[in-house]
C-alpha cells in the first residue's frame, strides 16, 4: 500500500484540523491507520494522506461487495431488491423526464442492479454502466439486457455523447480526481441534461456523534472526500452546473457501518449478524432517521440534482 499527501479539493489549502482516525473496519485490506482532517480554510473534510491510485486494487479487493453477487443468500437478494426499489424511487421523476431513445449513464454502476431495474422501468432508453472493475457474470447479465458496459477508471472513462441523465450513487467520495471526473460528466451531458449525485453528508446528526472515527461515512480508506451540503454546492459551482434540488436521504447503511466500526473500536464481542442483511437493525436505523428528519435534523446521506445549461 502506498500513500500520498494531498490538499483541500475545494480551496487548495493544505492545513487541516485533525478530525478522525480509523482503520479499514469493513474489509481489513490494510492495518494502516488513516486520518480525516477538516480544512482550516474552508471546512472541507478529506483523507490525508490517502492511498494512491496505484493502490486501488489493494483497497478494492476482488471480493469487494459490489464485485461479487454470485454467492448471495436469498435474504440478501431480497434486500438487494428493496435497496433497488428505494434507489429507483429516488430517481423515478428524473427517469421519466428522459426522452424516448435518450441515454442514461450509471457512473460507478457496481453490480449493475440499478441499471437492470431502470431497464424494466424505461425499456425505450439506451443504458450504459461504467465501473473500474466488472465481473464476467455481471457483464453478461447487463449485456443480455442490452446495457453497454465500460470497464475503466471513472476519471478517464470514454463516456457516450449527448447523455440525458447521469447517476452517481455513492461514488464522488471515492474519486481520486473529482474535478476531472465531473468535467467529463458535464462534457457527456446534452444541454439540459441532468446529474444525480448521492453521497454521505458530514453534517448528519450521527456524524457529529461519532466524528472521532466510528461514523460509517468515513469508510476508511476508500472515502477520500466527504462533503457537507455547502461543500457539494461549491464543488458544482466550480464544475459549472446548476443545482436544482437538494434533500437529505435516509442512511441505514451508514448506520450499519457505524455499528460495525464501534464494535471493532470498542472491542465489543463480534455479533455475526451485524451485517447489511440484518432486517431488524436496518429497520431500526431507518426509523431513527425518519424521526430525526421529522424533527428537522439532517441525516448522513444526501442527494443533489444538477442541470447542465
Ligand atoms: Zn479548503
Q: Which CATH number fits the domain that encloses residue 247?
A: 3.40.50.150
Ligand 1 centroid, distance to 262 Cα (angstroms): 29
The structure's pTM equals: 0.92
Instruction: Tell me, in angstroms, the distance from the centre of ligand 1 to residue 18's CA.
Output: 13
pLDDT of residue 86: 75
What spacing in Å lies between the alpha carbon of 65 and ligand 1's midpoint?
Answer: 32
287 CA to centre of ligand 1 in angstroms: 34
More confident residue, 151 or 268: 151
8 inside domain: no
Instruction: Indicate whether 225 belongs to any domain.
Output: no
- For residue 216, report the distance from its CA to the centre of ligand 1, in Å: 22
What is the distance in A from the centroid of ligand 1 to the CA of 231? Answer: 9
pLDDT for 10-68, tens place per residue?
A: 999 999 999 999 999 998 899 999 999 999 999 999 999 999 999 998 998 877 655 44
Residue 302 counted as domain residue: yes
Residue 195 has a CB neighbour count (10 Å cut-off) of 26
- Give the up-direction half-sphere exposure of residue 90: CA atoms within 13 A in the CB hemisphere: 24
Higher-confidence residue: 72 or 127?
127
> Is residue 210 domain-resident?
no
pLDDT at 75 over 80: no
> How remote is the CA of residue 225 from the centroid of ligand 1, in Å?
11
134 DSSP β-pair partners:
none
Alpha carbon of 12 to ligand 1 centroid (Å): 6
The CA 38 to ligand 1 mean position distance, Å, reads 8
Q: What are the distances in angstroms from CA 183 to CA 94, 238, 271, 294?
A: 21, 10, 44, 36
Q: Is 21 among the domain residues?
A: no
Q: Parallel, antiparallel, or unpaired for β 126-131 and 3-4?
A: unpaired
Distance 274 CA to ligand 1 centre (A): 36
Structural domain span for residue 245: 63-200+230-307
Please report the pLDDT score of residue 51 as a whole number: 97
Could you read off the pLDDT of 204-243 as tens digits, one per residue?
999 999 999 999 999 999 999 999 999 999 999 999 999 9
Please state, in angstroms and rounded to a whole number, the distance separating the CA atoms of residues 244 and 169. Answer: 17
Contacts of 118 (CB under 8 A, 6+ apart): 88, 91, 95, 104, 106, 125, 127
Ligand 1 centre to CA of 3 (Å) is 20
Q: For residue 15, how far is its CA from the centre of ligand 1 (angstroms)?
A: 8
191 in a structural domain: yes
Mean pLDDT of 286-292: 97
126-131 sheet: strands from edge to edge:
148-151, 126-131, 103-107, 163-169, 189-200, 301-307, 242-249
**pLDDT average, residue stretch 251-273:** 87
Q: State in Å: Cα 81 to ligand 1 middle.
A: 39
CA-nearest of 227, 233, 241 to 8 is: 227
Task: Provide the pLDDT for residue 271.
Answer: 67
Query: Which of 84-98, 131-145, 269-283: highest mean pLDDT?
Result: 131-145
Give the E-state strand segments of 63-209 in sequence order: 103-107, 126-131, 148-151, 163-169, 189-200
- Between the CA of 302 and the centroid of ligand 1 the distance, in Å, is 20
Answer whether residue 82 shows pLDDT above 90: no
Question: What is the structure's pLDDT at 77?
Answer: 65
Is there a domain that residue 16 lies in? Answer: no
Long-range contact pairs involving 28-34 (C-beta distance under 8 Å, separation at least 24) = 29/58, 29/59, 29/61, 30/1, 30/58, 30/59, 30/221, 32/1, 32/3, 32/221, 34/220, 34/221
pLDDT for res 68 = 46
pLDDT at res. 111:
87
Distance from Cα 4 to the centre of ligand 1, integer Å: 18
How many separate domains does the chain show?
1
Ligand 1 centroid to 299 CA: how many Å?
A: 23
Secondary element (H or E) of residue 78:
helix 74-97
* Distance from the alpha carbon of residue 180 to the mean position of ligand 1, in angstroms: 18
Three cell numbers at 270?
463480534
Beta-strand runs (E) in the chain: 3-4, 16-22, 34-39, 45-47, 50-51, 103-107, 126-131, 148-151, 163-169, 189-200, 225-226, 242-249, 301-307
Residue 73: pLDDT above 70?
no
Give a yes or no: residue 221 inside a domain. Answer: no
Query: Ligand 1 mean position to 42 CA, how many Å?
Result: 4
Residues 220 and 1 sit within 8 Å (Cβ to Cβ): no
> What confidence score (pLDDT) does residue 72 get?
47
Place 191 in a pLDDT band, splitting at 50, 70 and 90: very high
Measure 164 CA to ligand 1 centroid, in angstroms: 32
Amino acid at each position: 500500500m502506498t500513500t500520498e499527501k494531498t490538499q483541500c479539493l475545494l480551496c487548495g489549502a493544505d492545513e487541516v484540523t485533525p478530525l478522525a482516525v480509523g482503520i479499514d473496519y469493513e474489509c481489513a485490506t490494510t492495518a494502516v491507520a488513516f486520518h480525516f482532517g477538516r480544512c482550516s480554510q474552508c471546512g472541507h473534510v478529506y483523507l490525508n494522506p490517502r492511498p494512491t491510485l496505484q493502490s486501488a486494487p489493494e483497497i478494492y479487493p476482488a471480493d469487494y461487495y459490489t464485485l461479487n453477487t454470485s454467492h448471495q443468500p436469498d435474504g440478501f437478494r431480497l434486500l438487494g431488491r428493496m435497496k433497488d426499489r428505494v434507489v429507483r424511487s429516488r430517481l423515478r421523476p428524473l427517469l421519466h423526464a428522459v426522452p424516448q431513445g435518450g441515454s442514461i449513464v450509471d457512473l460507478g454502476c457496481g453490480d449493475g442492479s440499478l441499471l437492470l431495474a431502470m431497464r424494466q422501468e424505461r425499456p425505450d432508453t439506451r443504458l450504459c454502466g461504467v465501473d473500474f472493475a466488472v465481473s464476467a457474470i455481471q457483464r453478461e447479465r447487463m449485456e443480455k439486457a442490452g446495457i453497454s458496459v465500460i470497464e475503466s477508471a471513472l476519471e478517464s472513462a470514454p463516456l457516450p455523447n449527448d447523455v440525458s441523465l447521469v447517476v452517481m450513487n455513492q461514488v464522488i467520495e471515492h474519486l481520486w480526481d473529482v474535478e476531472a471526473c465531473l468535467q467529463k460528466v458535464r462534457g457527456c451531458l446534452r444541454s439540459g441534461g441532468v446529474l444525480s449525485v448521492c453521497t454521505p453528508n458530514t453534517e448528519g446528526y450521527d456524524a457529529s456523534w461519532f466524528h472521532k472515527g466510528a461514523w460509517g461515512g468515513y469508510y476508511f480508506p476508500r472515502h477520500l472526500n466527504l462533503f457537507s451540503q455547502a461543500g457539494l454546492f461549491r464543488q458544482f459551482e466550480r464544475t459549472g452546473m446548476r443545482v436544482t434540488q437538494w434533500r437529505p436521504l435516509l442512511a441505514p447503511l451508514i448506520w450499519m457501518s457505524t455499528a460495525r466500526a464501534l464494535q471493532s473500536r470498542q472491542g465489543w464481542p463480534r455479533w455475526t449478524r451485524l451485517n447489511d442483511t440484518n432486517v431488524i437493525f436496518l429497520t431500526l436505523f431507518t426509523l431513527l432517521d425518519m424521526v430525526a428528519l421529522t424533527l428537522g435534523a439532517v441525516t448522513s446521506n444526501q442527494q443533489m440534482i444538477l442541470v447542465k445549461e
